[in-house]
């Protein structure tokens, strides 16, 4: 089948976006940990969790699923706030309250909650389910100073509608963790709940790469003991295999065993890359059967997309240098995708000092750019993920062809 039906084809893969709940896979242990916190919250306690892990590992997806489960299975009211553009504590509180109002689910509850905020609300959006808060600085300050009492009032209201508590997810913390006030705020907020006689069933989930947590600890070391950590590792090969098998099966697409193995291998068990690879291979397919050729073409396409998206700008500086390009070319040609290498293996016997220096500078540079890193064995290097390797090989080949 060629070309026909292309307009109706829809990819189930979501590269670059948190996965929809129905396509979520694996992470059993982490989900159990979060469920325990939800159970404690529904029983009246305050629980605080920090979901962490490297970029693209699946933090927002897990947070999204948690919120879904908290609402569905534990009767909590949930909001997932993305704070990337948020630069002040006032903005954080405004975003949280705004989302709580939007998500409370019921017009009568909404009206009651709106009553709590009274003058702070400037307007109601069309259809009456969204709100616009004041942008007056001193009024916003009032919201911030009364954050806990307001949250309590909100809980008292939603309790009447059988909610057992509240889950607030704060995601994309990059703008806000740089503010020392944010750590202080978290600490005094959690301490106030703990020392009051009046418990608040609140599950607070922070989401961020380890550097964001380190930011918080820098300004307020006690944050370390406030938040339990849920750290996401790479997926296993079996999980990755299950992922590709299920995703294509749901679309009624057959996949050859060899094609699956190649996709598993080359996406290196990174959820982010699994979606990029799956999506690119999906669009290669024209006959509802994916063979090794579709897989290879798709993976090459994914490597280009991933390379340009994540390391494209940094890497152009490497290619501008003739010396570095040729080292890369050597690595690309010699090294099987996914393999590690020793510095010594790239040097000819008795290589002049200059060549050694070039190689060392090169390694330093690509490590700093996040393209290569140390392998598990000391003294060995590897590409951060197999697709970067493939992309570099492809680019190095192009550069060489242009020069030849």
Choose which of 38, 42, 57, 223 interacts with ligand ATP (CB under 6 A): 57
Cα-based torsion angle of the residue sequence 14, 16, 22, 25 in order, rounded to the nearest 10 degrees: 110
52 part of the interface to Mg ion, by CB under 5 A: no
Distance CA 30, CA 63 (A): 10
Query: Which range binds ligand ATP by CB under 6 A, 162-170, 190-198, 271-279, 344-352?
Result: 271-279
Q: Which stretch binds ligand ATP (CB under 6 A): 56-64, 138-146, 176-184, 320-328?
A: 56-64
What value, to the nearest 5°, has the Cα angle with vertex 59 and ends 55 and 63?
160
Cβ-contact 79, 103 below 8 angstroms:
yes
Of positions 30, 34, 46, 58, contacts ligand ATP by CB under 6 A: 58
CA atoms within 13 A on the CB side of 244: 35
Structure token digits, residue 261: 């193995």
Looking at 49-57, 145-153, 363-371, 387-395, which segment touches ligand ATP (CB under 6 A)?
Answer: 49-57
Pick the stretch among 57-65, 136-144, 365-373, 393-401 that binds Mg ion (CB under 5 A). 57-65
Query: Which partner in Mg ion, ligand ATP, none is near 15 (CB below 5 to 8 A by kind)?
Result: ligand ATP
Q: Under rule CB under 5 A, how many of the chain's residues touch Mg ion?
A: 1
Question: Cα-flanking dihedrals φ and ψ of residue 401, to 5°?
Answer: -60, -35
Out of 6, 29, 36, 55, name the contact with ligand ATP by CB under 6 A.
55
Which residue number, 239 or 380, has a Cβ lying nearer to ligand ATP?
239
Residue with smaller CB distance to ligand ATP, 18 or 307? 18
Is the Cβ–Cβ distance between 173 and 83 less than 8 Å?
yes
* The one segment of 52-60, 148-156, 216-224, 335-343 that binds Mg ion by CB under 5 A: 52-60
Burial of 88-126, coded b for 16+ CB within 10 Å and e otherwise, reads bbbbbbbbbbbbbbeebeeeebbebbbebbeebbeeeee
Query: Which residue number is nearest to Mg ion in terms of Cβ?
Result: 60
- CA nearest to 182, candidates 158, 200, 198, 206: 206
Q: How far, in Å, CA of 283 to CA of 253, rounded?
A: 12
Per-residue binder mask for Mg ion (CB under 5 A), 300-339, x = binder? ----------------------------------------
Q: Which residue lies nearer to ligand ATP by CB, 23 or 319?
A: 23
Whichever of 167 and 396 has its CB closer to ligand ATP, that residue is: 167
Of residues 164 through 223, those in contact with ligand ATP by CB under 6 A are: 209
Closer residue to ligand ATP in complex, CB, 58/268: 58
Q: How far apart are CA 386 and CA 332, in angstroms?
A: 11
Q: Tell me which of 163, 187, 275, 382 binds ligand ATP, using CB under 6 A.
A: 275
By CB under 5 A, is residue 66 in contact with Mg ion? no
> Who's near 241: CB < 8 A, 6+ residues apart?
260, 264
Round to whole Å and give the CA distance between 363 and 375: 13
Structural contact between residues 20 and 131, judged by C-beta atoms closer than 8 angstroms? no
CA–CA separation, 291 and 260 (whole Å)? 9
- At residue 227, the 3 state secondary structure works out as coil
Residue 201 binding result from Mg ion, ligand ATP, none, given CB thresholds of 5 to 8 Å by partner type: none
**Interatomic CA distance for residues 252 and 289, integer angstroms:** 9
Nearer Cβ to ligand ATP, position 60 or 66?
Answer: 60
Longest dimension (CA), the chain: 80
Minimum CB–partner distance for residue 205 and ligand ATP (Å): 12
Between residues 17 and 218, which has the closer beta carbon with respect to ligand ATP? 17
Residue 370 found at the interface with ligand ATP (CB under 6 A): no
Alpha-carbon distance 376 to 360, whole Å? 19
* Number of amino acids touching ligand ATP (CB under 6 A): 23
Asked if residue 60 binds Mg ion (CB under 5 A), the reply is yes
Contact status: 68 vs ligand ATP (CB under 6 A): no
Taking residues 3 to 42 in sequence order and writing x for each that binds ligand ATP by CB under 6 A, - otherwise, the string is -----------xxxxxx---xxxxx---------------
Please report, as ranges, the residues that interact with ligand ATP according to CB under 6 A: 14-19, 23-27, 53, 55-61, 209, 271-272, 275
Please report, as ranges, the residues that interact with Mg ion according to CB under 5 A: 60
């Amino acid at each position: 089948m060629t070309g026909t039906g292309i307009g109706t084809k829809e990819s189930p893969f979501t590269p670059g976006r948190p996965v929809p709940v129905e396509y979520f896979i694996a992470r059993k242990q982490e989900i159990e940990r979060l469920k325990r916190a939800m159970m404690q919250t529904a029983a009246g306690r305050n629980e605080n969790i920090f979901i962490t892990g490297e970029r693209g590992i699946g933090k927002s997806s897990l947070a999204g699923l948690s919120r879904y489960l908290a609402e569905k299975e534990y009767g909590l009211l949930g909001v997932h706030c993305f704070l990337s553009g948020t630069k002040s504590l006032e903005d954080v509180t405004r975003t949280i309250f705004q989302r709580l109002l939007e998500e409370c689910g019921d017009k009568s509850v909404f009206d009651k909650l709106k009553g709590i905020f009274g003058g702070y609300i400037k307007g109601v959006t069309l259809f009456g389910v969204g709100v616009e808060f004041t942008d007056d600085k001193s009024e916003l300050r009032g919201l911030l100073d009364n954050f806990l009492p307001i949250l309590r009032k909100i809980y008292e209201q939603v309790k009447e509608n059988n909610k057992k508590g509240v889950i607030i997810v704060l995601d994309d913390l990059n703008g806000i963790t740089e503010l020392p006030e944010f750590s202080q705020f978290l600490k005094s907020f959690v301490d106030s709940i703990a020392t009051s006689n009046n418990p608040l069933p609140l599950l607070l989930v922070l989401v961020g790469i380890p550097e964001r947590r380190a930011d918080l600890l820098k300004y307020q070391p006690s944050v370390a003991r406030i938040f339990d950590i849920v750290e996401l590792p790479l997926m296993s090969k079996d999980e990755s295999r299950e992922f590709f098998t299920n995703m294509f099966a749901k679309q009624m697409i057959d996949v050859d065993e060899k094609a699956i193995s190649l996709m598993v291998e080359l996406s290196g068990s990174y959820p982010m890359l699994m979606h990029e690879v799956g999506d690119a291979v999906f669009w290669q397919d024209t006959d509802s059967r994916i063979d090794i050729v579709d897989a290879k073409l798709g993976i090459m396409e994914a490597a280009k997309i991933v390379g340009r998206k994540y390391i494209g700008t940094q890497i152009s500086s490497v290619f501008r240098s003739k010396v570095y390009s040729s080292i890369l070319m050597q690595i690309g040609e010699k090294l099987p995708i996914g393999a590690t290498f020793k510095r010594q293996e790239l040097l000819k016997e008795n290589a002049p000092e200059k060549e050694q220096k070039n190689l060392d500078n090169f390694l330093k540079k690509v490590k700093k750019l996040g393209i290569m890193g140390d392998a598990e064995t000391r003294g060995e290097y590897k590409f951060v993920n197999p697709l970067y390797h493939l992309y570099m090989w492809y680019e190095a080949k192009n550069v060489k062809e242009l020069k030849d």
